[in-house]
Structures are given as structure tokens and as C-alpha cells.
Amino acid sequence: MSLLPTPTILESGTLAGAEAIHHAVTVLRSQWQRFWQRDPVEISTELHADLQKTLAIFSLNTQAGTAMNALLDSIADDRFPNRAPVELPPFWSFAGSGFVFTPPSPVTEEPQPE
């Protein structure tokens, strides 16, 4: 007599799929961070080198990431915490004809009364 329940084929397949999706999401996240954690001028140059190709890549990544995130959310298993990024990072936007980087305003400290 086994004290541990035997997972069904469906449960085993779901777990294997979740592990694979979580791995793919982890790779997408690490490459997203690698891409965006560079000099904004370098990023902008690469984004605009072939704008149509860039937009196609972003569209497909967003579709894939959204679907993978939904699958992981539906499984709701704490072993799979990562989610694919599906938005531009802070300070970046797309303004119809190109990507725009708007740096954050410098924080100025208020003088302290004496």
C-alpha cells in the first residue's frame, strides 16, 4: 500500500508542461532583462534598425508570454513563480512611429529647515 497518491497521466502531463513553460518564461525574462539593461541609445538604435522586424518580434513575444503566463496562473503552483514580461520597461514607450525613452526626472532634495 502506497502512502503517496499516484498522479494520473493528465496530472503528470500537466506538471511536465508547467515545468517546460516555466523554463521558457525564465529564459524570456532573462533575455528581456539582458536586452533592456543597456545604454538607451544602444537599445534605441537596435530597435529602429528594422522597425517592422522589431514590431513583429515584440508582437509574437507578447502573444507567447501572455499565453504562457495565463497557463502558469491557471495552474497556481508556487513552484512556478516566474512570468514572462509582456510590456515595455519603465521609461520606454512606443509613439506610433518609433520607440521613445523618457529618462526619469532627477530627484531634488528639499532643503531642511534649520
Express each pLDDT in 63-79 by its tens digit.
999 999 999 999 999 99
Asked if the structure places residue 2 within a domain, the reply is no
Asked if the structure places residue 111 within a domain, the reply is no
Asked if the structure places residue 86 within a domain, the reply is yes
Asked if the structure places residue 3 within a domain, the reply is no
Torsion of CA 25, 83, 64, 72, to 10 degrees: 100
Torsion of CA 23, 25, 26, 32, to 10 degrees: 150
Asked if the structure places residue 4 within a domain, the reply is no
The rounded distance, in Å, linking the Cα atoms of 45 and 54 is 11
How many domains does the structure of the chain reveal?
Answer: 1
Residue 51 has pLDDT above 90, yes or no: yes
Domain that holds residue 59: 9-101
Residue 99 contacts residue 46 (beta carbons within 8 Å): no
Asked if the structure places residue 15 within a domain, the reply is yes
Q: How many C-beta neighbours within 10 Å does residue 42 have?
A: 9
Asked if the structure places residue 30 within a domain, the reply is yes
The rounded distance, in Å, linking the Cα atoms of 102 and 91 is 5
* pTM of model > 0.85: no
